[in-house]
Structure 1
Amino acid sequence: MSSATNCGFLILTCLLDSLMKYPRERSRGDYMKSDAHESKKLCYLLLGTIFLITVCQPFAGAGGNSQDSPLEGNPLPASVTEIMNDTKYDHAFWGILVEDLETGEVVYQLNPEKMFIPGSTTKLYTGAAALDIIGADYRFETPIYARGNVDSSGNLNGDLILVASGDLTMGGRTTPDGKIDYTDIDHSYANSIGNAILTTPDPLSGLDQLAQQVSAAGIKSVSGDVIIDDRLFDKINPPDSANDYTLTPIVINDNLIDIMVKPAQPGMAAEVDWRPQTAAYAIEADVVTTDANETARIEISTGGPGIINVSGQVPAGEDTIVQTYTVDDPSSFARSLLIEALERQGVKVNASVKGNNPADLLPATTNYSEFERVALLTSLPFSENLKLIMKVSQNMQADSLLPLMAVKEGKRSFWDGLIIERSFLEKTGIDLNAVSISDGRGNSPADYMTPRTTVDLLRYMSSGNDSQVYRDALPILGVDGSLATSVGPESPAKGKVQAKTGTTAKYDVVNDRLILCSQALGGYMNTSEDRKLAFAIYVNNVPVKDVKEMKQVSNDLGSICEAIYEEN
């Protein structure tokens, strides 16, 4: 077999900002259309926050099931080689490694030492490092301080200051039983793949709790301002994220405004609702309901400071369509929402709800001991937040783990977090020469890893105090998260595989099709014979003509898991 050629990348800016500039044409009944016109529109739509947009060169001489030399392990099951020999994989490159966690036996392997584009299986590495550095039981504490004196009438002659702690949900996903809520398709993917499902808890629940405590502390009015202290770490738009989000220690509703569009009768205006609602943002809607056979087309754009324009059309009978708008200033957004939460609790604030966060009025970070703490929000254990990140592949939160790890080690930046992650990976004993990581989510063109390094990491994480926490955070095949529909309800492997998915794709302009630069899966399996396995499956460079074929590649990896489950 000839050696693999280098893979060059060109990042295309097709994330949230770009999506807002183009109409979103999407109808659940029309998702699988194969005509060229619709295919092109779907390609531009789908390649958003869930997919890294890249240009990949195929690995020369790397056939779908070839390898450099014979290796230990059993022959791949016939059903697996049948999948790999399908014509759609003629130009693809496969990597597989399956090991028995108890005996160390190599069960199957194919190109285990070759480097692959990992997609979001990068989160296996980020999440493992964060679990080690931050700790499964760690809880983020977000205080509010009163700067100034409270007089006999309950008026604070000064300011309320919320000090952001890096809590990535701020109580907005907490369920009554003390868990973090998530859905199989997170709202952070609403603009890219559609069909997003909103969680049940009120995204403002945490701010409401803080406001209740401020009121209970005897404060009835605030003559000064409300300020968000967001200085915990250096804010950054992660490289290769096309500026679709800012990493910041203050996060409310993932710093998104959810926009719900519900059709009415043909010819009538569609109903447009949104959450969280705040006076800081107004929505101007012009969405009409069309006949049922028309295609949904929704465009979201900025109409000026604090104005969100929602326009387009939705067909009658369509389910409510969820889209999102990314706020451009998370601290000012949080400030407005906190002022409104205070007012709901009867605390009158003299400052305007609208306007920028007055960060220039913040005290030195060493001065908070001089002020009275009047409220405190304590998060769920970090283990719950990790579950959210891994189950739904939450990109912004995965990238946020890097500066949060840096803070735990007395540093401040995204880049510091990557250096700290390397220190953790050194401890695991994996071959760092076979790993390349430049972000938390798996979006960087510099992200590469081998099946061997992934399985070695999984083996390391299978023992120790955090082993069950790590495993429980992963999507379950056929049950939840990004693996919910990868196998059918009658699959024998349903519920027996816990693994992280990864997808990296691009639009092939010349051929008007998609190229899957990577579809990946890495995790754990309890087989039919109760063998405990760790595995990594990668396939790179798969041409697919439409969205249906792209989904089939993901399902093929699910079928490979079924075969491994049944053969062992």
Structure 2
Amino acid sequence: MLRFAGRCAVILLSGMMFCVPAGGQTHHQTHHKRHRAKPLKVQIAKLLDDPTVERAHWGIAVAKMDGKPIYRLNAGQFFQPASNAKLFTTAAALDLLGADRTFETTVVGEGVFTGAELLKGTLTIVGSGDANLSGRELPYIAPAERPKHAPPAADPLRYLEAMADQVAATGLKRLDGDVVGDDRLFANEGYPQDWAIDDAVWGYGAPVSALTVNDNQIKVTVTPGASPTMQAVVTMNPPFPYYTVDASGLATGAAGSGSHVQMVRMPGSMVLQVFGSIAVDAHPVVEEVAIADPAEYAAMAFKKMLEARGIVVTGRARAEHQLQRYSRDMVEWSTEIGAQLGSKFADGEEIGECGAVSSGASVSGVRSVVLARHQSPALLEDIVVTNKVSENLHAELLLRHLARRYACDGYAAQGVGAVRAFLTAKVGIDPNDFVFFDGSGLSGHDLVTPRATVRLLQYASMQPWFAGWKTSLPVGGEDGTLAFRFAKAPLKDHVFAKTGTLGEARALSGYIECASGRTVIFSIMVDQHAPHNHADEGVMDRIVAAIAATN
């Protein structure tokens, strides 16, 4: 029997009367409804049954912060991680190299000096693997925290300019010899295995070099002419001439005709073809084009800077690369190194640092003098940039720093071996749960399981470097590659995850602060979705929402 008395619900049961506040009854009903919500596995099954995504291959792993599984779907199967590979590279770099590690780029005069004014020999910029010889401002600032009226972007060659100032300040007036860009710290492997040939044109596929300037890319801007009868204008930043631009096939189109600009540079060519049309009322088209030989580019630019400061240079600008000494299968070599290093890591064995690259045999009367220096930001600051904006080149440089630290030669396979040793001996991941060919995830040969990714994320959460590493992950609705995803409550500011996109593969892995207040770990990967189809991204985000709501 149920009666209402004032603000109470009076319930008569077995001769006993109870008075329950009306608010309590509402809370009970709400609580009951919440527990009637469909289980996570049911919600995910329904989402993946959508005709727009049902043909794709999905893998999902969700776990508590202690690693206890919450949900799994194909969690032990291989997927292309795309840029989720950066999670593995950056975690290994922080653990094995340390957050505070820096790298010093130097300008070395080598030869016969006559006082301070004359050098008969070479002036060499010695690359240290610094990823941030550029106009980028560090530390990284989230968009919401940036000033509304930001100052103009810094000169992308500012640090080369500063080192040229240091050289000029020594009193040098004449160099009888060459200006050299030396990237021999790392092996001369510009492109990891299975990077697509068309990627090599663009900034995101720029070649890897220990002497990296402006992310090894040039910004190319195409602006329409004032009328359809006028030529469109192509400009470059930095403005230093490197490529020859052929814009003979580029036209200004009629108003409303849109932008149809294409850029092509054939392998080995120094001619950038820009063609197509851009409407007279269109916004400029901006693309980042990769620099073919970054060390040579740095030397050419530095020579011009020295001459602008009144220093006569009689020689030419050229590059020096490390001679290739090995020709081995990537998987075989990296696995071998991983096993060797893994045993040392497991035993707690100290591994000595490698020495600097020698500039050659000593010759009587020849001196080697450092004329300029530049110190990089701390490693963690670069890792924040690498993960926030998904910088492929920076991840590749981190991989080669691991190679130099633990194998001395700077080959990609050696860096992959160091990552493998870290993942197996320290993190405890099954060695058969991943295969890496690079550090960025741009290689189509990279494979990883969702459960391995979750294990890495769980391991990281227990490390002293975790707080710094977590700040490198994009934040939903705030910054990086998640600035425009999860932009509304309750997920805004509560998803910390690395994105990944490569061809018909997509990934998202990280941490979710859930409705209950708990934080859970997740990895969602999808392969073989339809080309030019973004439906899987929307479903992926709804899966994240379901995880947050049910945990």
8 Å CA contact 1:402–1:415 kept in 2: the answer is: no
Deviations 1:100-156 (A, max 9, x none): 21x544333323223323222122112212222222111110111122455457233
Matched, 1:293 2:256: yes
> Take 1:221 and 1:121, find their aligned partners in 2: how far apart are those partners?
49
Summarize the Cα distance change of 1:91–1:233 in structure 2 as closer, same or farther, 3 Å threshold: same
Q: Report the AA paired with residue 542 of structure 1.
A: H
Moved more, 310-319 or 426-435: 310-319
> Take 2:116 and 2:53, find their aligned partners in 1: how far apart are those partners?
74
CA positional deviation for 1:228: 1.8
Summarize the Cα distance change of 1:335–1:467 in structure 2 as closer, same or farther, 3 Å threshold: same
In structure 2, which of residues 537, 540, 543 is the aligned counterpart of residue 557 of structure 1?
A: 540
> Take 1:183 and 1:391, find their aligned partners in 2: how far apart are those partners?
11
3-state SS of 1:542 partner: coil
In structure 2, which of residues 288, 295, 300 is the aligned counterpart of residue 336 of structure 1?
A: 300
3-state SS of 1:89 partner: coil
Summarize the Cα distance change of 1:80–1:319 in structure 2 as closer, same or farther, 3 Å threshold: farther
Partner of 2:81: 118
Partner of 1:247: 208
> Take 1:147 and 1:212, find their aligned partners in 2: how far apart are those partners?
18
Alignment of 1:514-529 (within 5 A): 516=504, 518-529=505-516
> Take 2:417 and 2:285, find their aligned partners in 1: how far apart are those partners?
41
> Take 1:97 and 1:153, find their aligned partners in 2: how far apart are those partners?
64
Summarize the Cα distance change of 1:111–1:558 in structure 2 as closer, same or farther, 3 Å threshold: same
Alignment of 1:65-144 (within 5 A): 75-76=39-40, 80-101=44-65, 103-144=66-107
Matched, 1:264 2:225: yes
Matched, 1:364 2:359: yes
3-state SS of 2:530 partner: strand
8 Å CA contact 1:173–1:180 kept in 2: the answer is: no
Alignment of 1:21-100 (within 5 A): 75-76=39-40, 80-100=44-64
CA positional deviation for 1:522: 0.6
3-state SS of 2:129 partner: coil
> Take 2:141 and 2:179, find their aligned partners in 1: how far apart are those partners?
29
Partner of 2:494: 496
3-state SS of 1:292 partner: coil
8 Å CA contact 2:183–2:320 kept in 1: the answer is: no
Partner of 2:311: 347
3-state SS of 2:186 partner: coil
8 Å CA contact 1:143–1:375 kept in 2: the answer is: yes
3-state SS of 2:40 partner: coil
Matched, 1:206 2:159: yes
8 Å CA contact 1:430–1:453 kept in 2: the answer is: yes
- Show structure 2 runs of 5+ residues with no match: 1-37, 145-151, 201-205, 323-356
CA positional deviation for 1:432: 1.7
CA positional deviation for 1:375: 0.7
3-state SS of 1:87 partner: coil
Deviations 1:69-127 (A, max 9, x none): xxxxx9317654442221112223322222221x5443333232233232221221122
Matched pairs, number: 459
In structure 1, which of residues 156, 167, 173 is the aligned counterpart of residue 130 of structure 2?
A: 167
Partner of 2:335: none
Matched, 1:156 2:143: no
8 Å CA contact 2:179–2:315 kept in 1: the answer is: yes
The percentage of aligned residue pairs carrying the same residue is: 31
8 Å CA contact 2:407–2:414 kept in 1: the answer is: no
Summarize the Cα distance change of 1:455–1:342 in structure 2 as closer, same or farther, 3 Å threshold: same
In structure 2, which of residues 371, 374, 382 is the aligned counterpart of residue 385 of structure 1?
A: 382
> Take 2:528 and 2:49, find their aligned partners in 1: how far apart are those partners?
14
Q: Report the AA paired with residue 359 of structure 2.
A: A
- Show structure 1 runs of 5+ residues with no match: 1-73, 185-198, 506-515
> Take 1:308 and 1:486, find their aligned partners in 2: how far apart are those partners?
35
8 Å CA contact 1:478–1:494 kept in 2: the answer is: yes
Matched, 1:484 2:444: no
CA positional deviation for 1:200: 2.7
Alignment of 1:222-233 (within 5 A): 222-233=175-186
8 Å CA contact 1:75–1:108 kept in 2: the answer is: no
> Take 1:344 and 1:183, find their aligned partners in 2: how far apart are those partners?
37
Partner of 1:275: 237
> Take 1:289 and 1:329, find their aligned partners in 2: how far apart are those partners?
32
8 Å CA contact 1:126–1:398 kept in 2: the answer is: yes
**TM-score normalized with structure 1 length:** 0.74
3-state SS of 1:539 partner: strand
8 Å CA contact 1:77–1:563 kept in 2: the answer is: no
In structure 1, which of residues 310, 315, 320 is the aligned counterpart of residue 284 of structure 2?
A: 320
> Take 2:186 and 2:111, find their aligned partners in 1: how far apart are those partners?
26
Q: Report the AA paired with residue 75 of structure 2.
A: P
Summarize the Cα distance change of 1:283–1:93 in structure 2 as closer, same or farther, 3 Å threshold: closer
> Take 1:301 and 1:442, find their aligned partners in 2: how far apart are those partners?
24
8 Å CA contact 1:112–1:450 kept in 2: the answer is: yes
> Take 1:309 and 1:558, find their aligned partners in 2: how far apart are those partners?
39
CA positional deviation for 1:302: 4.8
> Take 1:214 and 1:325, find their aligned partners in 2: how far apart are those partners?
30
3-state SS of 2:185 partner: coil
Summarize the Cα distance change of 1:492–1:318 in structure 2 as closer, same or farther, 3 Å threshold: farther
